[in-house]
Structure 1
Amino acid sequence: MHPSLQDSVRTSYWLDDQVRPAPLPPLVGAAEADLVVVGGGYTGLWTALLARERFPEKSVLLLEAGQCGDQASGRNGGFASASLTHGFGNGLERWPSELDALDRLGAENLREIGATIERLGIDCDWRLSGELAVATQPHQVEELHELSATLAEHGVAHSVLDQVATRARLDSPTYLGGLALPDETALLEPARLAWGLRAACLEAGVVIHEGSRVTSLQRASTSLRLTTDAGWVRAGQVALATNAFPSLLRRLRLMTVPVYDYVLITEPLSGAQLASIGWGGREGVGDSANLFHYYRLTRDNRILWGGYDAVYHYGSKISPVLETSGRTHDLLAAQFFETFPQLEGLRFTHRWAGVIDTCTRFSAFFGTAYGGSVAYALGYTGLGVAATRFGAQVMLDHLAGEITERTKLEMVRTKPLPFPPEPFRWAGIKAMTASLEASDAHGGRRNLFLRSMDRLGFGFDS
């Protein structure tokens, strides 16, 4: 074990919080609701809250297998990106004709999240910090300049930084340049946002049952029936918000795969330690590699450091045992001190991991089932903190049968390619990961396998 990890605890820093609410009772026996939301992460919570605001005459019930916010929504890095397309580059490649509309809708969505947090008084340290993309290899500097030219064509506010200017913002000997996006990202405390949305749902009249895993969804005469371990619900409509976990719709089982993302967080930096790296703008930061790191400051000046390894396990296996990879946490710790050698001796207090969903186009997709009575949104691929609110709106549009600017988007109307079944899925993902690592090590050159997958629009990311 890396020495900096010796005293760390294996739990999410965000969830290890004294304001964590007590669990709500599970569903026991029979219930009924106009709309049943399955899943108590951001997607489900936004759907339930917006449904009550948009259709106050409808009863809404939310079922969560564990506790609301305990999964990806409560343990992510706390980056709320305005992008609905997993970044400008991915959006430009896949939906060039509607990218300006997607960026406008994403910016509006981010502003509305901030306004909701302020209106509801959610204490989650919401800050419009902007984001800094840093280059640590010469080819990444060239790529940032190319991206800058495209951003300028689309009127996206940004600035390109040379090595000196980048290190003046945040000092690492690994930095060769950077690109600052001042309007694209907010930072927040993710579990507190989830708990705040949960409280707002309860205040709005949403009935929430935690500890209520849904085991089946079936048509029952003119309604839908959802069965849990200890009860059942008759529903007029259903919104599925289970994301990384197996869908109640079998048709979606190959559309996403679960991957494990790993995170560390340090003890609070002293004034001298913080001065040694700068970071006066407190931006969220990501490096420009294929296997990338993301990092940020917390309100008490800890550094959250995550990413790099996105680990897929054969058969789309999900288990708490897989959250304790010492190898990945050791690797992350070593990479942290390569980036910030001036912080040698700093210790990590928390280390954790958990499953997120990824799809082959890297951004969310949407659809309906059971004649339009069921809607779903999933596939956010690690950039869902803000985009889940947009996904909730799309689901509610679909359930209401409304044609809106959102539902007319090609992004909303189309689906990604599915992943192949096993063993081809595991072999393909391993080949993709190895090829991405090789690309990072060889000047960004993409081998024949990556170029072929690019042409097919087939990818793997987190």
Structure 2
Amino acid sequence: MRPFWLEQALLADRSETCPPLQGDVRTDVCIVGGGYTGLWTAIMLKQQNPELDVRLIEADICGAGASGRNGGCALSWSAKYFTLERLFGVAEAVRLVQESERSIHAIGAFCEHYGVDAEYRLDGTLYTATNRAQVGSTDAVIAALERNGINSFSQRPLADVQRMAGSQKHLEGWFSPAAASVQPGKLVRGLRRVALQLGVKIHEQTAMTGLEEGRPARIQTPNGNVIADRVVLAMNAWMARAFPQFARSVAIVSSDMLITEPRPDLLQQIGLTSGVTVLDSRIFVHYYHNTADGRIMLGKGGNTFAYGGRLSPVFDQPSPYAGLLKRSLDDFFPAFSEVKVDATWNGPSDRSVTGLPFFGQMSRSGNVFYGFGYSGSGVGPCHMGGQILASLVQGLDNPWTRSPLVNGPLGYFPPEPIRYLGSLLVRNAIRRKERAEDHGRRPRHLDVRLAKFAAAAGKADKG
């Protein structure tokens, strides 16, 4: 069974699976991975250079990975401003925040232009506090955005926050109109349709089994080879497993979600009537929004960690944290306590040390490019990733190819088993810290110190 979003999208998209690769083919550009990053790159390449022959191979079907199972929160990089400034300086941090907001709007314009029904709703986002310890935690970054003339957030009166968010649990809130919610499965299947219309050749059920670098490069698959002048690796969490040099560049961690049955009557009753995305101020945040058909989707990040980057079967199953998710749902929305949960699921998030994706080229021949590490917040930024990779592939000189984002990983996790054991240590410290704060208690000093290892890269796993 597919995750809820993708299953729903496939019911609406009756197109045939693209045939797997058979035999050897020659192409200008081969893209490995049929999620947001790969499809945006393919589309932008064909839009900018229609004569390019572009092929995309996908091990399963397009959208089977994180792109078809995320939380559907299309957010900017505003909340990551301090990380951006620390790593790249003020000018580039400002540019990237602005570009991340432009991408939100560009996704909506794309859906409108190509008739993609992704349930895109540009209804903004609320960053909130749900306990006293979280109150004021957003003030500093908002002040920095304001100083640099890029602030889209305004603090709303508490009554407005609770009404917009549909919950009395929120104690403060900052609203930005520069965010959207989408049905992620429908978005990725729409991207697939447009890519095919533009002339991208897609081979599903075609896993990459090997890569021979050179000019041209050779991508090996079970039943044939793609000989390509340029290659784009858009495999996200699977990159760490496929290429040992990236094994320590990301930690694989789940984000877990549930979705209720449709109850538009209750949504009307509690006031959650727009597509606003709502996030609290935890390190591994709660995030939620309603859906066009009257459901609530709620998720929480930072649960299951993968050892050594191995994607175990649990990442393809209903969430093992269903009980925790249901308790959170009831806590936010007591009116939904008796409402049926239609599905739970989870998926692997490729969390980088900085909480930001990174890009680059990895072959001596200079023709193999990659991008991953979206850290559970890729719906909007994958559009930027497509611009970066399309620019790199074409050898352009522009702000994307000059950005320090294209310099590869900006940090590494410790080797195993230290990484895995350390991840669990920090995760459990965060849980204890936030549990104490929820109950109005002062957390242990050690837990606060350990939590800072995760907090340094900002909020994570927002879908």
> TM-score scaled by structure 2?
0.90
CA 1:451–1:346 in structure 2 vs 1: closer, same or farther (change >3 Å)?
closer
Please, which moves more after superposition, 36-45 or 112-121?
Answer: 112-121
Q: Does 1:16 pair with 2:8?
A: yes
Partner of 1:174: 169
Q: Which amino acid aligns with 1:448?
A: R
Distance 1:366 1:186 in 2: 25
Name the aligned partner's letter for residue 174 of structure 1: K
1:392-448 deviation per Cα after TM superposition (whole angstroms, max 9, x unaligned): 221222222222112222333363211222111101211221232233234687633
Amino acid at match of 1:380: Y
Show the counterpart of 2:369: 375
- CA deviations 1:144-179 (Å, max 9, x no partner) are 333433332233122213433322323423221111
Contact kept? 1:129, 1:187, Cα under 8 Å? yes
Greater CA drift, 166-175 or 318-327: 318-327
Aligned partners of 1:10 and 1:350 also within 8 Å = no
Q: Counterparts in 2 of 1:202-281, with a 5 A limit? A: 202-220=196-214, 222-247=215-240, 248-271=242-265, 273-281=266-274
Alignment of structure 1 residues 412-423 onto 2, 5 Å: 412-413=406-407, 415-423=409-417
Give the aligned partner of residue 6 of structure 1: none
Aligned-residue offset at 1:265: 0.5
1:338 aligns with 2:338: no
CA distance in 2, matches of 1:349, 1:315: 32
- Whichever residue aligns with residue 357 of structure 1, its letter is D
Query: Would you say 1:300 and 2:293 are equivalent positions?
Result: yes
Structure 2 SS opposite 1:234: strand
The residue that corresponds to 1:311 in the other structure is 304
Query: Which of residues 264, 285, 288 in structure 1 aligns to 2:281?
Result: 288
- Say if 2:159 is the partner of 1:164: yes
CA 1:194–1:310 in structure 2 vs 1: closer, same or farther (change >3 Å)? same
Inter-partner Cα distance in structure 2 for 1:279 and 1:378:
33
Partner of 1:99: 93
Tell me the CA shift for residue 369 of structure 1: 2.0
Distance across 1 between alignment mates of 2:117 and 2:353 = 35
State the alpha-carbon separation in 2 of the partners of residues 388 and 326 from structure 1: 25
Q: Which amino acid aligns with 1:239?
A: V
More off after superposition, 141-150 vs 424-433: 141-150
Q: CA deviation at 1:93?
A: 4.4
8 A Cα contact 1:48 1:206, kept in partner: yes
Whole-Å Cα distance in 2 between the matches of residues 357 and 181 of structure 1? 26
Mean CA deviation greater in 224-233 or 326-335? 326-335
Q: Give the secondary structure class of the aligned counterpart of 2:225.
A: strand
Q: Residues 458 and 178 of structure 1: is their aligned pair in 2 closer, same or farther, counting only changes over 3 Å?
A: closer
Cα 1:24–1:453, aligned 2, differ >3 Å: closer, same or farther?
closer
1:410 to 1:268, Cα distance in 2 relative to 1, 3 A: same
Distance 2:458 2:126 in 1: 24
Question: Superposed, which structure 2 residues align to 1:59-208 within 5 Å?
Answer: 59-83=53-77, 87-97=80-90, 98-155=92-149, 156-183=151-178, 185-208=179-202
Q: Distance in 1 between matches of 2:303 and 2:454?
A: 18
Query: 1:44-63 maps to which residues of 2 (within 5 A)?
Result: 44-63=38-57
Query: Structure 1 residues 242 and 351 mapped into 2: Cα distance closer, same or farther (>3 Å)?
Result: same
In structure 2, do the counterparts of structure 1 residues 57 and 361 end up closer, same or farther at CA, with 3 Å as the change threshold? Answer: same
| Letter aligned with residue 7 of structure 2 | L
- Please report how far the alpha carbon of residue 243 of structure 1 lies from its aligned counterpart in structure 2 after TM superposition: 0.5
Q: Given the superposition, is the C-alpha separation of residues 327 and 219 from structure 1 closer, same or farther in structure 2, using an over 3 Å criterion?
A: closer
Partner deviation per Cα, 1:355-374 (whole Å, 9 max, x = no partner): 12111111110110223201
Deviation at 1:391, TM superposition (A): 1.2
- Contact 2:279 2:288 (8 Å CA) reproduced: yes
Q: Would the aligned equivalents of 2:83 and 2:457 in 1 still touch at CA under 8 Å?
A: no
Same amino acid, percent of matched pairs: 31
Q: Indicate how the Cα distance of structure 1 residues 330 and 103 shifts in structure 2: closer, same or farther if over 3 A, else same.
A: same
Q: Flag structure 2 segments of 5+ consecutive residues without an equivalent.
A: none
Instruction: Give the unaligned 5+ runs of structure 1.
Output: 1-8
Does structure 1 conserve the Cα–Cα contact (< 8 Å) formed by 2:6 and 2:63? no
**Which residue matches 2:421?**
427
Check the 8 A contact 1:15/1:70 in 2, yes or no. Answer: no
Task: Give, in whole Å, the separation in 1 of the partners of 2:181 and 2:229.
Answer: 37
The verdict on how the C-alpha distance between 1:459 and 1:335 changes in structure 2, with shifts beyond 3 A counting, is: closer
Provide TM-score, normalisation by structure 1: 0.90
Write the distance in 1 (CA, Å) between the matches of 2:276 and 2:459.
26
The one-letter code of the counterpart of 2:4 is S
Match of 1:32 in 2: 26
- CA distance 1:324–1:399, shift in 2 (3 Å): closer
Q: CA deviation at 1:92?
A: 4.2
Partner of 1:448: 449
Q: Shift of the alpha carbon at 1:36?
A: 0.2
User: Secondary structure of the equivalent of 2:347?
Assistant: strand
Q: What is the CA deviation profile of residues 282-319 of structure 1, one whole-angstrom value per residue up to 9, with x for unaligned ones?
A: 31111111121110011011000111443103222213
Q: Which piece of structure 1 moves more, 382-391 or 404-413?
A: 404-413
Q: Is the CA contact (8 Å cut-off) linking 1:372 and 1:398 kept in structure 2? A: no
Distance 1:325 1:123, change over 3 A: closer
Cα distance, 1:263 vs structure 2: 0.8
Alpha carbons of structure 1 residues 266 and 449: separation in structure 2 relative to 1, 3 Å: closer
Q: Residue 311 of structure 2 aligns to which amino acid in structure 1?
A: I
* Cα distance, 1:109 vs structure 2: 2.3
Structure 2 distance, partners of 1:453, 1:307, is 15
Flag the 1:211–1:324 CA change in 2: closer, same or farther, 3 A: closer
- Contact conserved, 1:429 with 1:460, CA < 8 A, in 2? no
CA distance in 1, matches of 2:168, 2:191: 41
Contact 2:283 2:458 in 1 (8 A): no
Rounded Cα–Cα distance in structure 1 between residues aligned with 2:301 and 2:389 = 32
